[in-house]
């Protein structure tokens, strides 16, 4: 470890925290990265774990392994329970940790918008256990359906509802449809595929709202071709684990509801004692510092910052660029130089709806279908951390593509 008296504590080994910790490798500081998990998770591919396409190990990597070559780096696997900005220390599951500089990058959590019944019975998708829970649920429903003599109950077992027409909901619905229609039909030859329903419920009148109209329409058509029933203006009122009730009064029997309708900032934000903006995100200065606490920076999903009149989206590139910017600014603080305000460079958005089908709005260019799908594959392989993960994901995708298989079809129990 470097001889350094200043300690920078980074909370969260996600996209923002990891980038900040890495970018501080040459700074004359000691970097302490803390996370409740021992790994960095590539959340954009979580839905593929949930739909039996990938194993969790292929989209995650231990933080220690990623940064073990960094001399000024230390890692602690702890849950941070409170940030005490007055005493410059964190309270954690393993006692207090003091800091000179703090980079808060705890990300977010599933936002059920106060719908308690959905929180109890629905399935969120934010971490590896969530993805495994969805995989277990979908596969178990098929096993139970094979044993179920009652036709109505069988249909409820084979009805899968995804709530939220953003990128996660669209990708989830498309991948679920392919898992069922291309793979599970072979495992369950006695299954009547007409009993299977996949519904995508969206409260507004569009899916992929951030995409240009042409791409939204392309995505809608692709979902339709994949037998996903997209319902617009469909707001959820209640879910008891057996039936979902919409605000329109319609009731749909379904044993599986996947909630992909929103995220909010980590509850750790609330312990700062500062006023929060939308989704519990904390407003930060242009330099990403917390007002009144120049030694505290907040980045990624936990931070609220507007650019050109719009809030920055809760996406990985924002967190990564903020991590990079914060590391530079901490270096400037140490050298007594002026700090640089953060400016997000938006490279675009991509979403895939299954094999050969994606939409891409990148650097102003719009593409859909096979070309967009290849772009999606390349971007995700490049962004995955670790050569082993890149290789294994590529092999898995190639195998699934050519043999219509999904390797990870195990129902696992604790
Ligand atoms: C299913 C899904 C799909 C997504 N798809 C895309 C996509 O395609 N493209 C895209 O750009 N973005 C996507 N996102 C959003 C993207 O993953 C987030 O914007 C990004 O991860 C935010 O980075 P972050 O560093 O702020 O937080 P995160 O990457 O979420 O990291 C936060 C870290 O903090 C840790 N942590 C949290 N609280 C504590 C605590 N109290 N104590 C200790 N550790 C703690 C967590 O364990 C985690 O490791 C997706 C998100 C999800 C959930």
Mean pLDDT, 10 residues at a time, the chain of 414 residues: 74 98 96 98 97 95 95 97 97 98 98 96 97 97 96 97 97 97 94 95 95 94 96 97 97 98 96 95 98 97 97 97 98 96 94 93 92 94 92 93 88 82
pLDDT attached to residue 327: 98
pLDDT attached to residue 223: 96
Q: What does the alpha-carbon distance between residue 237 and residue 252 come to, in Å, rounded to a whole number?
A: 12
CB of 300 sitting under 6 A from ligand 1: yes
Taking CA atoms only, the protein residue closest to ligand 1 atom 6 is 44
Q: With beta carbons less than 8 A apart as the criterion, state whether 148 and 155 touch.
A: no
CB of 352 sitting under 6 A from ligand 1: no
96-120 confidence digits (pLDDT tens): 999 999 999 999 999 999 999 999 9
Q: With beta carbons less than 8 A apart as the criterion, state whether 142 and 20 touch.
A: no
Q: Is 253 left (phi over 0), alpha (psi -120 to 50) or beta?
A: beta
Mutate to test the pocket of ligand 1, among 33, 38, 42, 43 (most ligand atoms within 8 A of CB): 43
pLDDT attached to residue 413: 79
pLDDT attached to residue 3: 43
pLDDT attached to residue 2: 41
Taking CA atoms only, the protein residue closest to ligand 1 atom 5 is 44
Residue written as tokens 């329109």?
248
pLDDT attached to residue 414: 61
Q: With beta carbons less than 8 A apart as the criterion, state whether 163 and 123 touch.
A: no
Half-sphere exposure of 234 (CA within 13 A, CB side): 21
CB of 165 sitting under 6 A from ligand 1: no
Task: Name the residue among 322, 330, 292, 317 with its Cα closest to residue 305.
Answer: 322
Cα of 33 vs centre of ligand 1, distance in Å, is 15
Atom of ligand 1 nearest to the CA of 351: 8
pLDDT attached to residue 43: 97
Taking CA atoms only, the protein residue closest to ligand 1 atom 39 is 106
Taking CA atoms only, the protein residue closest to ligand 1 atom 53 is 126
pTM recorded for the entire structure:
0.95
Q: Which of 55, 58, 171, 178 is catalytic?
A: 171
Residue 29, classed as helix, strand or coil, is coil
Half-sphere exposure of 74 (CA within 13 A, CB side): 13
Cα of 414 vs centre of ligand 1, distance in Å, is 25
Active site residue 229: no
Copy the structure tokens of residue 251: 């009731």
Cα of 107 vs centre of ligand 1, distance in Å, is 5
């Amino acid at each position: 470890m470097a001889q350094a008296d200043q300690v920078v504590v980074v909370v969260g080994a996600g996209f923002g925290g990891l980038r900040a910790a890495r970018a501080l490798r040459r700074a004359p500081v000691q970097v302490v990265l803390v996370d409740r998990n021992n790994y960095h998770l590539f959340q954009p591919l979580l839905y593929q774990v949930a739909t039996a396409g990938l194993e969790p190990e292929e989209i995650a990597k231990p933080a220690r392994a990623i940064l073990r070559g960094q001399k000024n780096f230390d890692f602690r696997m702890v849950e941070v329970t409170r940030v005490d900005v007055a005493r410059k220390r964190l309270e954690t599951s393993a006692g207090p940790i003091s800091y000179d500089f703090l980079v808060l990058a705890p990300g977010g959590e599933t936002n059920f918008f106060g719908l308690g019944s959905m929180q109890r019975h629905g399935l969120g998708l934010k971490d590896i256990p969530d993805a495994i829970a969805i995989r277990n649920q979908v596969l178990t429903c098929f096993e139970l359906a094979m044993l179920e003599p009652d036709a109505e109950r069988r249909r409820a077992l084979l009805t899968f509802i995804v709530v939220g027409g953003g990128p996660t909901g669209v990708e989830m619905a498309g991948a679920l449809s392919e898992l069922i229609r291309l793979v599970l039909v072979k495992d369950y030859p006695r299954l009547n595929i007409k009993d299977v329903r996949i519904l995508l419920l969206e409260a507004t009148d569009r899916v992929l709202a951030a995409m240009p109209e042409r791409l939204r329409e392309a995505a809608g058509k692709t979902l339709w071709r994949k037998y996903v029933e997209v319902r617009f203006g469909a707001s959820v009122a209640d879910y008891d684990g057996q039936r979902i009730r919409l605000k329109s009064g319609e009731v749909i029997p379904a044993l599986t509801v996947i909630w992909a309708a929103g995220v909010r900032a980590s509850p750790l934000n609330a312990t700062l004692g500062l006023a929060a903006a939308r989704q519990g995100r904390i407003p930060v200065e242009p330099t990403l510092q917390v007002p009144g606490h120049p030694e505290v920076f907040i980045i990624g999903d936990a931070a609220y910052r507007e650019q050109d009149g719009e809030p920055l989206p809760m996406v990985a590139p924002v967190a990564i660029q903020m991590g990079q910017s914060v590391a530079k600014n901490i270096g400037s603080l140490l050298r007594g130089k002026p700090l640089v305000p953060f400016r997000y460079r938006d490279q675009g958005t991509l979403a895939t709806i299954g094999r050969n089908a994606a939409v891409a709005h990148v650097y102003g260019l719009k593409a859909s279908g096979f070309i967009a799908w290849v772009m999606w594959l390349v971007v995700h392989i490049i962004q995955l951390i670790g050569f082993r993960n890149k290789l294994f994901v590529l092999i898995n995708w190639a195998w699934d593509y050519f043999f219509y298989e999904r390797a990870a079809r195990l129902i696992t129990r604790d």
